[in-house]
Structure 1
Amino acid sequence: MTIHQIECFLEVAHTLNFTEAASHLYISQQGLSRQISSLERELEMRLFERTTREVRLTRSGEILLWKWQNIPSLIRESVDMAREDNKREKDRIHVAILKMNGVMDVVGRILTEYSDRFPQTEFQLKEYSDVKDLAGINTPDLIITLSNGFDYTKIKDKFNWAELHSFPLYYVFSKKNPMACMERLSSALLQQQTLLAVFRYEESGIGMKILEFLGNLGYLPKKVRYFDNTDSLELALNANEGIHIGYREYYHDFGDRLAMFPIPTPENQAEAKVMALWRVEDEEKLKNLVSYLNSIDLRKRE
């Protein structure tokens, strides 16, 4: 069955005249008759009763007319929608966002502000939990991630980036832990604690070189316990089974049960930074967005 056959059927059904219908369709009457006969053979039913005096619909034909009469307009509308969407695709920006508390809020505010300035831009957002998930996202134009000390100059030939926001990092543990009553935490005391991690840091492509970072601060945990999801980690934290490294916004759902101590560095407090990365080859396509991200880049404010 073809769209042309449906159009032929509908025209005959509306006019009940093969000559008139053929004229409207700009085909010969014989060609129209062949289309209707072919359709009837395929459906294995008669659609019209034809005599030398009149043409009328069969019961089956009446049912098809009732169900099919809007098909041509639906096809035209869908084609118009597809063409419009194709035109808008050049202004659509595909964004892959790291699914973590705090990060989503920061990026949401930034993209909303940008959309207010450039209302023609449409963002299509996809969330990911680890870099491995990015393989299932169709070539994002912009990647939002969280960095803690990763040297992005190593990828400068392929990517450009902007630092959008910084979260001060904390040692986080249950208020049941005796350390919660202390004013300062010593490296010796911290090393006795189990480090709780949501994913295997050494396998993560997110760039959070936590173990290396902590080692540089003089704290290298003797034991690291890994969890598949944040819910399990939260339960372990509340049960005083170890400590975690994170930022306040990450714990907004259960922070009142936790103690948080700033992680100092020789220069200042340690930070995790929300980063936006885009391919160098896409710089022109994302020109307006890149200009906006650069205007809020933390490095350019220093």
Structure 2
Amino acid sequence: MTIHQIECFLEVARTLNFTEAAGHLYISQQGLSRQISSLERELEMRLFERTTREVRLTRSGEILMWKWQNIPTLIRESVDMAREDNKREKDRIHVAILKMNGVMDVVGRILAEYSDQFPQTEFQLKEYSDVKDLAGINAPDLIITLSNGFDYTKIKDKFNWAELHSFPLYYVFSKKNPMAGLDRLSSAQLQQQTLLAVFRYEESGLGMKILEFLGNLGYLPKKVRYFDNTDSLELALNANEGIHIGYREYYHDFGDRLAMYPIPTPENQAEAKVMALWRVEDEEKLKDLVSYLNSIDLRRRE
């Protein structure tokens, strides 16, 4: 049974005239009769009573007309909807965002401001916790990460990027820690503390980059303790079980119970930057968004 057969049946059922129905369908009367006969054979029932004077629906035909009358319209509407969604999918911008406190707030604000200027743009957002998780996200157009999570020298031929926001980095620990009352921290004091880190970032290489960064500052922790989620890490911080390297926006739940000291000093503070990366070959598709992100780019403002 085909859609064409259903359309032929419905037109004959509506007009009760094969000649008129054939004209409406732009086919020959013989072709229409073949379609109806084929449908009746397939369904193993008669749909019309035909005489030389009139055409009438059988009881079975009346039931099918009642149930089928909206099928062609539903099919056309569904196809139109699917085509429209397919077109929108081609235009939709897929964004993969690093799942970390503070990052989503920054990116959400930026994308909302962009949408105010370009209301026809649709974004589809997916969070990831680890660089390797990106392999499971279907070809994101835009990747949002932190500056110390990527080695940009290895991707500069394939990706362009913009620096969207800057998070000053701090040594963070509980206010119960004796260091919390000091004006300035020394390497000797820091080295006695356990460094708390999230294990999944260690897997992605970010943990090693942090350790390398701290080593350049002269701080090599004697012990590193890893957690598999940020909530557990924050609880350990609050319980004065060690120190962490982070930024203010990271600590949503216990920020008022934590002491934060700039790295390395208030005059020369280290930063983690929120980065947007996109493929070089996607520049044309994303030209409006790229232009907008470049207008934010911190490097262009310095």
TM-score normalized by structure 1?
0.86
Q: RMSD of the TM alignment (CA)?
A: 2.8
Q: Distance in 2 between matches of 1:126 and 1:280?
A: 21
Pick closer, same or farther for the CA change 1:62–1:270 going to 2, 3 Å: farther
Residues 158-197 of structure 1, C-alpha deviations (whole Å, 9 max, x = no match): 1111111001112222333333333333323322333222
How big is each residue's C-alpha offset from its partner over 1:1-28, in whole Å with a ceiling of 9 and x where there is no partner? 3221221222223223333322222223
Identity %: 95
CA distance in structure 2 between the aligned counterparts of 1:16 and 1:154, rounded to whole angstroms: 73
Q: Mark the CA change 1:66 to 1:190 in structure 2 (over 3 Å): closer, same or farther.
A: farther
Deviation (angstroms), 1:78: 3.0
Change (3 A) 1:79 1:185: same
With 102-111 and 58-67 compared, the bigger mean Cα shift is at 58-67
Query: What CA distance in whole angstroms lies between the structure 1 residues aligned with 2:266 and 2:145?
Result: 25
Q: Secondary structure of the equivalent of 2:164?
A: strand
Task: Provide the secondary structure at the position in 2 that maps to 1:200.
Answer: helix
How many residues align structurally?
Answer: 302
Structure-1 residue corresponding to 2:219: 219
3-state SS of the aligned residue for 2:162? strand
TM superposition shift of 1:59 = 4.7
| Distance change in 2, residues 1:43/1:145 (3 Å) | farther
Task: Say if 1:188 and 1:206 are closer, same or farther in 2 by CA, change over 3 A.
Answer: closer
- Equivalent pair of 2:130/2:201 in contact (CA under 8 Å): no
Q: Distance in 2 between matches of 1:151 and 1:240?
A: 33
Alignment CA distance shift 1:244-1:38 (3 Å): farther
Q: Is the 8 A contact 1:149 1:213 kept in 2?
A: no
Residues 80 and 186 (structure 1), Cα distance of their counterparts in 2 relative to 1, 3 Å cut: same
Instruction: Answer yes or no: is the 8 Å Cα contact 1:175–1:258 preserved in 2.
Output: yes
Q: After alignment, is 9-18 or 103-112 more displaced?
A: 9-18
- Separation in 2, partners of 1:208, 1:3: 62
Check the 8 A contact 1:131/1:206 in 2, yes or no.
Answer: no
> Alpha-carbon deviation of 1:76?
2.2
Worse-superposed segment, 96-105 or 168-177? 168-177
Separation in 2, partners of 1:125, 1:151: 23
Aligned 8 A contact 1:167 1:272 in 2? yes
How many Å apart are 1:298 and its aligned residue? 0.7
CA drift of 1:272 comes to: 0.9
Cα deviation, residue 202, structure 1:
4.1
Distance 1:234 1:69 in 2: 62
> Distance in 1 between the 2:275 and 2:221 partners?
27
Question: Which structure 1 residue ranges, 5 or more long, are not aligned?
Answer: none
Is the CA contact 2:195–2:221 (under 8 Å) kept in the aligned structure 1?
yes
Counterparts of 2:166 and 2:81 in 1: how far apart (Å)?
41
Any idea what the Cα deviations from partners look like across 1:108-144, whole Å, max 9, x if unmatched?
2212222222333332222222112211222112111
TM-score, with length taken from structure 2: 0.86
Q: CA shift at 1:146, angstroms?
A: 1.0
Structure 1 range deviating more: 86-95 or 160-169: 86-95
Segments of 5+ residues of structure 2 without an aligned counterpart are: none
Which moves more between the two structures, 242-251 or 178-187? 178-187
- After superposing the two structures, state which structure 1 stretch, 148-157 or 167-176, moved more: 148-157
1:247 corresponds in structure 2 to 247
* Distance (Å, rounded) in 1 between the aligned partners of 2:40 and 2:232: 63
How many angstroms apart in 1 are the aligned matches of 2:122 and 2:46? 49
Equivalent pair of 2:170/2:260 in contact (CA under 8 Å): yes
Query: How far did residue 238 of structure 1 move?
Result: 2.9
